[in-house]
A and B are shown apart, each in its own frame.
Chain A
């Protein structure tokens, strides 16, 4: 589904990604972790072309992201993305947030888009808040709306960029629950997160990054039982026992 080959990127002269290669198969859940500044958010933003890259290639469902001939908006419409800071549109009601791209990008009728939006809101348990504005919701609720908004586009895969990092601890669970359910339904997911509980529960593979490199790419059970590299051992020790 997602194939990243030899991906390198630099800001000015500073390399942020160094020859990263990995794949995410259809239905697979891959967790990307690593210390801050390791390039994991940049990597995931490259997958739907939000960040340009200089070397290497990424294909998503057979479409090359870096090819100048690729219709990026069309590709992005099929790749759901959830951001650390939710990024709901604050000037629109929750309903309109869900309907906007369905109407403008997929060309759905307003009624159809609204109905689809409400079904997904129901699924994340927020249908009662459909007519509120994002600022009236808690962080956890906003992130669940953001997931519903991405799902409303019927994506072939979902990217999550630290979806729980900006949340108060008591709200993390409600967002992870939605993500776990999604993973169990067979959604292809690439998730940048420090939530190792989530990774243990649903991830098929864990990618560990440091200084712009993929240091370790292993089945989840193996990664947690016996991380091969010292850097991954140190990282796990720090985040699991603090």
Chain B
């Protein structure tokens, strides 16, 4: 073992940038898709229509009971089987994460919806709004606002978890660092670099969430 040689960081940057961009894209798509689908799942879970709430509940419980890395591998194998064509590791990762995170965002949105007092729904309905209008204009905006810090914290976890796409060879930040490390025979230095990038992004996001929590606390 020789000494550390961090000069590999310079030439690695274009690869690292591409990997990071994919990681960010994956996080953003899975977050927005996950929140939208998760909200629909939450509405289904809270629905008085029994079959709807049972199906949504089963979906959420299943997703939350399987290790993410297995879901990633499983989707990677199953999606080509279902569609008949291989979709590639990146697309597979995006679909998987959206579907998986939806289960977690669902539970957050569900408690968010339940945190809105019953009187708010009464007031909306007393003004003549339909149930759907009351949900869209009165309940969901408040649920989102109440849950914003929790949703963002879940997104930070999601950002870290995207490194698991490594398992199917999608070219994310970790994979880029790994490839460069192998090419230059400097794996440790490259792992350190990727860890620093994950840390810097997650830590600043956490600080931002903490600030946000203070502001939300004042408004409430």
Cβ-based interface call for B206 (8 A) = no
Write out, one digit per residue, whether chain A residues 5-22 have a CB within 8 A of any chain B CB (1) or not (0): 000000000000000000
Name B's interface SS: helix
**In residues 102-137 of chain B, which contact A (Cβ within 8 Å)?**
117, 119-120, 122-130, 133, 137
Task: For residue B156, give the distance in angstroms from its CB to the closest CB of chain A.
Answer: 25
Query: Which residues on the B side are within 8 Å of A100 (C-beta)?
Result: 127, 129, 137
Binds B, one of A75-83, A117-125, A187-195, A202-210: A75-83
Cβ-based interface call for B217 (8 A) = no
Taking A90-B142, A91-B142, A91-B145 as contacts, is the C-beta distance between A76 and B137 under 8 angstroms?
no
Taking A89-B120, A100-B137 as contacts, is the C-beta distance between A79 and B126 under 8 angstroms?
yes
Cβ-based interface call for B14 (8 A) = no
Cβ-based interface call for B141 (8 A) = yes
Out of B128, B141, B145, name the residue touching A76 (CB < 8 Å).
B128
Cβ-based interface call for A115 (8 A) = no
Number of chain A residues whose Cβ lies closer than 8 Å to a Cβ of chain B: 29
Task: For residue A105, give the distance in angstroms from its CB to the closest CB of chain B.
Answer: 4
Please state if B127 and A77 are interface contacts (CB–CB under 8 Å): yes
Please state if B141 and A91 are interface contacts (CB–CB under 8 Å): yes
Cβ-based interface call for A48 (8 A) = yes
Query: Which residues on the B side are within 8 Å of A144 (C-beta)?
Result: none
Listed in ascending order, the chain B residues whose CB lies under 8 Å from chain A are 117, 119-120, 122-130, 133, 137-138, 141-142, 145, 219-220
- Nearest 5 pairs of A and B residues by beta carbon: A77-B128, A87-B123, A101-B127, A81-B126, A105-B128
Q: A74-B128, A76-B126, A81-B122 are in contact. List 11 more A-B contacts (CB 8 A).
A: A73-B125, A78-B128, A81-B123, A81-B126, A83-B126, A87-B122, A89-B142, A100-B137, A101-B127, A101-B128, A106-B128
Listed in ascending order, the chain A residues whose CB lies under 8 Å from chain B are 45, 48, 50, 72-74, 76-81, 83, 85, 87-91, 100-101, 104-106, 135, 146, 149-150, 153
